[in-house]
Amino acid sequence: MRIKSYFSATVEAAVSKARQELGDDALLLNARPSPDEALHLGAYEVVFGVETPVVPPTPPRLERTMPPPPPPLPDVGPEEADSLAGFLAQQDIFPALVHAIESSLDDDMVTEQQLSRALARRLNVSSTLDGPMAFVGPPGSGKTTLLVKLAIRESAEQPVTVVCADSQRIAASEQLRTLCSIAGLTFEFVGQPEGLPALVEAHQEAGRLVLIDLPGFGPSELGPARSWQAALTKISSLTPVLTLTATARTADLRLMVGRYQIFQPQRLAFTHVDETSVWGGVYSVAAETGWPVAWLGTGQSIPEDVEPASVRRIADGVMGISGKARAAAATAG
């Protein structure tokens, strides 16, 4: 199923826009006031699902999910483009990391290959799904979408249970329940943290992979965040996956890493990579935390738009932004 949002001043106008484009068969999944970042598109958001022909879930196919090459780098001042540090800073790589990368390259003349290797050395990736996983991260970072994509794909290999852990946002759980029922996935809702460990254990004992969808917690929601975190620590061999948007600035991503540290993330996932040509945020967070990057979300289509992360892809994201990368990389210092 493909999920698409429409925005307008009223719910009715947004629905009519969606119907015009998608037809009468499209399924209304949710209607809500627009999130702050989308307010300029209209006061209301409606989310529609369109059935795509039923095909058995396929394992990720890199060549099909690869987005087109990134557009050229926006104009860089000549002084910046002329130096390696300037180039890395232009990619929004965290300053301390720029310095460390530059220091690790001792020659004045650095080839593209040397820079690529220096970038790659600081990255880890791992996208195995061999135990329960909980998706944590800020609201709207793409946790639910990523989880559903993975659940649908993985259900070809092993039975999967999707657990919606949420004590507040009923509409969000209904949306996930609908998605799961369309995709034929087992769905469980748990409203209180205390109920989570036993529920997960029961599904694990039945030989099922359990994927847990948590709500995003704002700065004022530390209480609920702590309660869910305490419940997660009681689940044996659980992997918390910190899910972040690749489009956010490095400084903001680092802030989120700090805020979600209480969940002791063991993996990273980056969504919205289809919407950025600047990979410094992804790179900086991955290199600085050392947490393996598991998946990259490459668009809104479920389950197509996800790929396992690769060191090459992230290093290329930083390197391959434009031909200027080559020029800049050739002259270090």
Ligand X SMILES: Nc1nc2c(ncn2[C@@H]2O[C@H](COP(=O)(O)OP(=O)(O)O)[C@@H](O)[C@H]2O)c(=O)[nH]1
Residues that bind Mg ion (CB under 5 A): 143-144
| 82 lies in the binding site for ligand X (CB under 6 A) | no
How far apart CA 113 and CA 285 sit, in angstroms, is 22
| 298 lies in the binding site for ligand X (CB under 6 A) | yes
Specify whether the CB–CB gap between 170 and 177 falls below 8 A: no
Which residues ranging from 197 to 216 are in contact with ligand X (CB under 6 A)? Answer: 216
| 5 lies in the binding site for ligand X (CB under 6 A) | yes
Specify whether the CB–CB gap between 87 and 329 falls below 8 A: yes
Minimum Å gap between C-beta 52 and ligand X is 15
How far apart CA 275 and CA 146 sit, in angstroms, is 15
Minimum Å gap between C-beta 207 and ligand X is 27
142 binds, among ligand X, Mg ion, none (CB under 5 to 8 A by kind): ligand X
Specify whether the CB–CB gap between 163 and 199 falls below 8 A: yes
**Applying CB under 6 A, which of residues 141, 161, 276, 322 lies at the interface with ligand X?**
141
116 binds, among Mg ion, ligand X, none (CB under 5 to 8 A by kind): none
**Both tokens assigned to 232:** 């997660």
Residue closer to ligand X by CB (options 247, 322) is: 247
For 45, 68, 244, the CA distances from 298, given in Å and listed in that order, are 21, 11, 13
Binding range to ligand X, per CB under 6 A, among 194-202, 254-262, 281-289, 294-302? 294-302
Which residues ranging from 220 to 279 are in contact with ligand X (CB under 6 A)? Answer: 271-272, 274-275
Residue closer to Mg ion by CB (options 110, 133) is: 133
**Both tokens assigned to 204:** 């694990």
How far apart CA 241 and CA 224 sit, in angstroms, is 18
297 binds, among ligand X, Mg ion, none (CB under 5 to 8 A by kind): ligand X
Sort 332 into a burial class: Cβ within 10 Å, 0-12 / 13-18 / 19+.
buried
User: Which chain residues interact with ligand X by CB under 6 A?
Assistant: 3, 5, 139-145, 216, 271-272, 274-275, 297-300, 305
